Structure 1
Amino acid sequence: MKTSFMTKRRQLTPSFKDKIIGRDDDKAALLKLVLEFESEENVYIIPIVGFGGLGKTALAQFVYNDEMVKNHFELMMWVCVSDVFDIKLIVENIIKSATGQAPDQNLEMDQLQKQFREKIGGKKYLLVLDDIWNEEWEKWVSLKELLIGGARGSRIIVTTHSSKVAKITSKCQPYVLKGLSDNDAWSLFKEIAFEQRSADSTDSGFVEIGKLILKRCCGVPLVIRTIASTLSFKETKNEWLSFKDNELARISQNEGEILPTLKLSYDHLSSHLKHCFAYCRLYPKDHKIDIRTLVQFWIAQGFVKQLNPSQSLEEIGFRYFKDLVERSFFQEVEGDLMEEMRCKMHDLMHDLAESVAGMESSIIDSNKIASDVGEKCRRISINPSLIPLFKGKKLRTLLRSPYIETPNLSEETWDFIILPSVGAHGGEKDGETARGGDGVGDVATAVQLRVLTMVAEKSAVGGGGERSWRLWINLGKEKKCKVWGFYLLKRGVWLQVLGILGLE
């Protein structure tokens, strides 16, 4: 049942945070390239180049959502590429964006190409390839050969940090994005920093300090938003001066190196919000994060403190999320009800989360990383096939990498998952599995492993000899979290966690 808290529609971010300030000229220039420029090629590629935080993706969205653009193209697609340039995955995501339905993941590349050409070939389309890092010409050519089948007037917008990427993707001059003008930067800063105290926006003392702080933001929208959000919670001039003279003055600021400035806002978070933010390092870059699942993971880790008995842990956890949104640590928040909500982290915010999480958290997606991760690592997001290579002894969180199909796993892998973490009620020691008797009943985890989310091989689900049982994940001294699993008689304990179903 949905609580009144869940059913309330909440505006998580003020409307001004959804606006793009100071990019009207950039948008007009790009619209000319998208709608009017006569190209010799059927498919014309437009790279947008600039360092992180300038708003390349936001500008591309600004153009993509323009009504003239929507009416100009038969087909519009948006794919986030990020740092892994996997052509098969990119093609799958283009098809998904074009049709609204993901293709069968068992299709071979030639089958995907055929489906791709059926859906896209001969149509005038606009495709945005967001956040490309690949600088290998051969890989780009392999993808481009598929894309050139569009009708005359088709456009591809590429956003990238790298001028080399711009050169290999297009013959045309890239559109180089620069920082905001002083006036536009101040407009953005003022809207956020004085959101709750509009009278202070005309106070000469606040204005003077604010403009001095703004100079250190170098016209970078992400930095302006983050610093202004932090200052919006500081209500006196002395607090603003202290921020400027003590903290901001300690860091050097080079163009393109803005992580130290972003970290100032992290340093001003309360300890529980710091833990919650750093935990998000376990998600890959550009991943759409399910908010309710994230909150439940925070609860399972013990980050959420129930100081007020009248509020549920989930309500408090969602308040934590809202606090981080208001401080610009998350972006692209979608949905109104908590169970429908998704969000993303900017790449630089992900870099910050990785930096502050340190050696305690890791994404394990290669043999080398699995072997190199230290024994003290407490939280991992992992390709399940790499689990036997992991040597950690203090694991508290084991998450399956969200973009990886779970293969048929070996007994060695499942023994690794189960042995350190599961012991049955009835006096069995930690490190023993519930293999005796009929194996059915409540199974308690050992203290070490707080969150476990894996998927068993599909052939096992619904097969003979399985019985469902409950796995209780430790949420601290009193709270327990219920998830479902399977017991397979022919293979001992086989774990399939379908999701966290509730709190008791």
Structure 2
Amino acid sequence: MAAAVVGGAFLSAFLDVLFDRLASPEFVDLILGKKLSKSLLSEDNSDGSEVSVVPIVGMGGVGKTTLAQLVYNDENLEEIFDFKAWVCVSQELDILKVTKTITEAVTGKPCKLNDLNLLHLELMDKLKDKEFLIVLDDVWTENYVNWRLLKKPFNRGIRRSKILLTTRSEKTASIVQTVHIYHLNQLSNEDCWSVFANHACLSSESDGNTTTLEKIGKEIVKKCNGLPLAAQSLGGMLRRKHDIVDWNNILNSDIWELSESECEVIPALRRSYHYLPPHLKRCFVYCSLYPQDYEFEKYELILLWMAEDLLKKSSKGRTLEEVGHEYFDDLVSRSFFQRSNTSRSSWPYGKCFVMHDLMHDLATSLGGDFYFRSEELGKETKIKTKTRHLSFTKFNSSVLDNFDVVGRAKFLRTFLSIINFEAAPFNNEEAQCIIVSKLMYLRVLSFHDFQSQDSLPDSIEMPRGMSKLNHLQHLDFFVVGKHQENEIKELGGLSNLRGQLELRNMENVSQSDEALEARMMDKKHINSLLLEWSRCNNNSTNFQLEIDVFCKLQPHFNIESLQIKGYKGTRFPDWMGNSSYRNMTRLTLSDCDNCSMLPSLEQLPSLGSL
């Protein structure tokens, strides 16, 4: 108990300065990251029978996740713990999903198990006699039985191991705790002002304008209700605005009176949104299609923005991708997006981002009827006629039996599936035709999670009638099939495709004229192209057919990146060295075993990577 009292007092003292220096990475790394780690992780379960669970409790936006990140990212912990894992849990506790995520973090490789008992055995084997730190962020469950089931494998570890858990619920904390509960209260107006001022980059020089801005800013901060997320967001919004009129407009806005019944922080965040440039507003609201706590890749979202025409063409000659990077970074700097700490963010996808729960709530409220996100499409799903963008996270056969539920949204532009296909297999026969026959105005068709697989099953083919989607602008990949309805010529009418395109199973092109009918030269918005022959093509002896097919797949001269994998022809097409490809900066050739000579590349002036 003495340790709990000392630890709690130490934490309370440090919280007084935590957000005062939130914008200073040096301060966080040098002091908070070290001392808070020692404070939070010094306590052990009194009887030593179980791994210690340390709950951090506080309302939304008060900084629970920030505090957990300081502990998790402390470099000194690398020497203490054998394993670390970070998992966003959210409102629905999916024990299988959480256990699998932890297993992947511990093993450093994909986990294909979908049986909880087998997962428990796998995880227990890895954690046995190991010391680990696991962060469970945003836990809502108040079911003791489910909690014990989730926690079961952890007790195989060394008792000095720690589970750090963040929650808004006092009841949740009382169920999971084995040691002292840490309560995070709202900041004082003085501390909240420090966060706001740091993010607003308000000058420390005492001139008339700064003094006036400080006076107005402190009144704005009082409306943040002690929530650092609100202060951080508003400060970031005013980072480039040091005009007294702008600050007064925020202070006196009617938006402060909105949504008080929903959440005290929403008016402040809504004000931050109100002052976003129009192009960033559209990009932010589009993210309401993502589920809460969904981790998204930067490039993935930029491609979707491109397909939706949300990126303005640059007058400075920059590509749309470069414009998208600028938009994305701007939203990060304004705290609308945050970097993720989970294992998915480091492997195998690269850095991922998330939206804070309250930011996600804001995007959802702003999306209105134009954006519709469903956990599972079915008979009872109500989609309004005016809906333009739809996403869903579970695929059920009832979706196919009752696809008129979706078909009523006749002007639907986005049909985005955010599915773990490994856990919920996609039946190709069932899915054929429903998309192309009902959604003629579709612009975005994403099979994103398929891309995490090393290879696609041989049975996977594209839906029939893809050529009818002539409004389609974003397609992750096209798998060339062996049947007429899945041939490469189905791409012929998709002239609006843009960004990145991957053509897989190229060995299924049986006649070179089919490749010509794909009309790749007409697709002037494609800037990155991958042509891939699968491994089953290794024994191919029809070299001339592959040469002819490759020659007739010449892309538009706007192409910037070209990747060729598994090609078994004996030479490359002459067009690869055409001087008209002045924008090509990257050429990748892999597993092209039968080619002894490179194409003539001296006429590609921009080529920087080979």
Q: TM-score range by the shorter chain?
A: 0.7 to 0.9
Match of 1:380 in 2: 390
The answer to whether 1:72 aligns with 2:66 is: no
SS in 1 for 2:185: coil
- Partner Cα distance (1:474, 1:74) in 2: 51
SS in 2 for 1:191: helix
Change (3 A) 1:16 1:184: same
Match of 2:140 in 1: 133
- Partner Cα distance (1:400, 1:373) in 2: 16
User: Which of 272, 278, 288 is matched with 1:271 structurally?
Assistant: 278
User: Which of 251, 262, 265 is matched with 1:258 structurally?
Assistant: 265
Change (3 A) 1:93 1:299: same
Match of 1:7 in 2: none
Match of 1:416 in 2: 434
TM-score, structure 1 length as denominator?
0.79
Match of 1:304 in 2: 311
SS in 1 for 2:381: helix
8 A contact 1:442–1:470 mirrored in 2? yes
- Partner Cα distance (1:82, 1:455) in 2: 34
- Partner Cα distance (1:117, 1:256) in 2: 40
The answer to whether 1:101 aligns with 2:119 is: no
The answer to whether 1:316 aligns with 2:323 is: yes
Question: Cα deviation per residue 1:375-398 (whole Å; 9 max; x = unaligned)?
Answer: 332112223436434422221011
Q: What's the CA shift for 1:486?
A: 7.5
- Partner Cα distance (2:170, 2:279) in 1: 40
| 384-393 or 110-119, which deviates more | 384-393
Match of 1:225 in 2: 232
SS in 1 for 2:433: helix
Q: What's the CA shift for 1:239?
A: 1.7
Amino acid at match of 1:377: T
Change (3 A) 1:33 1:345: closer
8 A contact 2:128–2:156 mirrored in 1? yes
Amino acid at match of 1:407: P
The answer to whether 1:85 aligns with 2:108 is: no
Percent identical across equivalent pairs?
32
Change (3 A) 1:207 1:309: closer
- Partner Cα distance (2:53, 2:32) in 1: 20
The answer to whether 1:54 aligns with 2:72 is: no
The answer to whether 1:399 aligns with 2:407 is: no
TM-score, structure 2 length as denominator?
0.66
SS in 1 for 2:467: strand
Number of residue pairs matched?
456
Match of 1:342 in 2: 352
Q: What's the CA shift for 1:109?
A: 2.3
Match of 1:155 in 2: 162
Give 1:176-195 correspondences, 5 Å limit. Answer: 176-194=183-201
Amino acid at match of 1:73: F
8 A contact 1:331–1:346 mirrored in 2? yes
8 A contact 2:85–2:105 mirrored in 1? yes
Point out which structure has higher relative CO (alpha carbons under 8 A, 6+ apart): 1
Q: What's the CA shift for 1:408?
A: 3.8
Structure 2 spans left out of the alignment, 5+ residues: 1-20, 442-462, 510-525, 530-557, 560-610
Change (3 A) 1:117 1:341: closer
Give 1:476-491 correspondences, 5 Å limit. Answer: 480=498, 483-484=501-502
Change (3 A) 1:100 1:394: same
Match of 1:436 in 2: none
Amino acid at match of 1:227: L
Q: Which has the larger radius of gyration?
A: 2
8 A contact 2:478–2:502 mirrored in 1? no
The answer to whether 1:117 aligns with 2:138 is: no
Change (3 A) 1:225 1:370: farther
Match of 2:535 in 1: none
- Partner Cα distance (1:373, 1:52) in 2: 30
Give the superposed CA RMSD.
Answer: 3.9
Change (3 A) 1:342 1:328: same
Q: What's the CA shift for 1:333?
A: 6.9
Amino acid at match of 2:432: W
8 A contact 1:281–1:361 mirrored in 2? yes
Q: What's the CA shift for 1:191?
A: 1.3
Match of 1:431 in 2: none
Question: Cα deviation per residue 1:293-325 (whole Å; 9 max; x = unaligned)?
Answer: 211211111111214161211111222112212
Q: What's the CA shift for 1:366?
A: 2.0
Change (3 A) 1:176 1:422: same
Match of 2:467 in 1: 443
Structure 1 spans left out of the alignment, 5+ residues: 1-13, 424-438, 490-498
